[in-house]
């Protein structure tokens, strides 16, 4: 069965309290289904930001995209999640990742483990937090019987763990190169990653929803011209790969809508996250795809 589209916007800056509330109102008015916040030092603390967003919105879900699990003890995170779900009227979606920025751990005085250790902690968190939230004795009690869990990542072990625990799997379309720096995945490699995740899911009664993080939106003009203008962002990819890549949406509103339909058919992505700088530019695409 084809899932309907959902669109989230990852908010990167608060500004003032009034400005934050106005941006959240605007996201709802433009048709976004989810208001998201990241979890990096120097950016808004995620849970207070989501509670403030809930005060001025009615429809959107509210999520973390994604929490650095290394910052969080599972018991304390369960308390934060339950409180936030309560204060947002049951609209929380809890996104988690293994973490990748050592400088943030150093600044916080927290250990930055090996990749294996970080994924181990992510797995413990994905197991323990739902157990605590599902305990009838846990206080505070969440509104939702199960707070939806999103996992962000690309590695095979993360995919395997997410296939067991996540309601939503979030792909970024990139991976680490030989030097440890991010490298874009070609569309074929991205498809292989999605297929690996689906294989790890096995015979799950309810397959996970698949999310994708869009990096660039450029509405208007010839897609090939736009592709060449933006090639520096994905210099390892050729123009054809660039045009086929869900990270980079270029062309008219109708062309971008058609691209998203094609990405849903090819990869199974139905939930797309847009970065805040493209909040307004992407909105006509949401309108174009409404109800599909």
pLDDT (tens digit per residue) in 142-170:
999 999 999 999 899 999 999 999 999 99
**Residue 208 pLDDT:** 98
**Residue 182 pLDDT:** 55
**Which helix H or strand E contains 285, and what residues bound it?**
helix 283-289
Determine the average pLDDT of the residues in 83-92. 98
**Residue 221 pLDDT:** 79
E-assigned strand segments in 89-198: 92-97, 149-152, 168-171, 174-176, 182-184
**Residue 234 pLDDT:** 56
- Higher per-residue pLDDT: 215 or 4: 4
Q: Which of 88, 217, 238 is nearest to 148 (CA)?
A: 88
Which domains, and CATH codes, for the chain?
Answer: 6-289 (3.20.20.30)
**Residue 3 pLDDT:** 96
**Residue 53 pLDDT:** 98
Confidence of residue 224 (pLDDT cuts 50, 70, 90): confident
Q: Which has the minimum average pLDDT: 13-27, 97-111, 238-252? A: 238-252
The answer to whether residue 231 scores a pLDDT higher than 70 is no
Determine the average pLDDT of the residues in 134-141. 97
Q: Are 282 and 18 in contact (CB under 8 A)?
A: no
pLDDT (tens digit per residue) in 198-209:
999 998 999 999
Confidence of residue 183 (pLDDT cuts 50, 70, 90): low
Residue 70 CA to residue 73 CA, distance in Å, equals: 8
Determine the average pLDDT of the residues in 222-234. 70
pTM, full prediction = 0.95
Residue 240 CA to residue 220 CA, distance in Å, equals: 18
Q: Are 138 and 86 in contact (CB under 8 A)?
A: no
Determine the average pLDDT of the residues in 254-268. 97
Confidence of residue 180 (pLDDT cuts 50, 70, 90): very low
The answer to whether residue 177 scores a pLDDT higher than 70 is no
Tokens, residue 115: 């990749």
The answer to whether residue 274 scores a pLDDT higher than 80 is yes
Confidence of residue 179 (pLDDT cuts 50, 70, 90): very low
**Residue 88 pLDDT:** 98
**Which helix H or strand E contains 177, and what residues bound it?**
none
């Amino acid at each position: 069965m084809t899932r309907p589209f959902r669109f989230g916007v990852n908010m990167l800056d608060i500004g003032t309290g009034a400005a934050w509330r106005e941006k959240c109102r605007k996201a709802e008015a433009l048709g976004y289904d989810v208001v998201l916040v990241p979890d990096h030092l120097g950016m808004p603390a995620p849970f207070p930001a989501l509670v403030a967003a809930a005060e001025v919105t009615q429809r959107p879900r509210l999520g973390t995209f994604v929490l650095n699990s290394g910052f969080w003890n599972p018991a304390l995170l369960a308390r934060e999640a339950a409180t936030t779900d309560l204060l947002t009227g049951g609209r929380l979606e809890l996104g988690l990742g293994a973490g990748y920025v050592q400088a943030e751990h150093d600044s916080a005085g927290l250990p930055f483990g090996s990749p294996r250790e970080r994924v181990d902690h992510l797995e413990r968190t994905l197991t323990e937090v739902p157990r605590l939230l599902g305990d009838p004795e846990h206080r505070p009690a969440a509104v939702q019987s199960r707070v939806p869990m999103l996992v962000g990542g690309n590695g095979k072990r993360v995919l395997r763990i997410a296939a067991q625990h996540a309601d939503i799997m979030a792909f970024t379309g990139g991976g680490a190169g030989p030097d440890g720096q991010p490298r874009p995945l070609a569309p074929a490699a991205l498809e292989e990653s999605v297929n690996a995740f689906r294989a790890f899911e096995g015979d799950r009664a309810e397959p996970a929803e698949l999310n994708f993080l869009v990096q660039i939106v450029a509405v208007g003009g010839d897609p090939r011209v736009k592709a060449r203008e933006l090639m520096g962002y994905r210099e390892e990819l050729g123009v054809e790969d660039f045009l086929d890549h869900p990270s980079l949406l270029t062309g008219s509103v109708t062309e971008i809508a058609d691209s998203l339909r094609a990405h849903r058919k090819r990869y199974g992505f139905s939930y797309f996250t847009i970065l805040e700088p493209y909040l307004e530019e992407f909105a006509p695409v949401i309108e174009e795809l409404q109800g599909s």
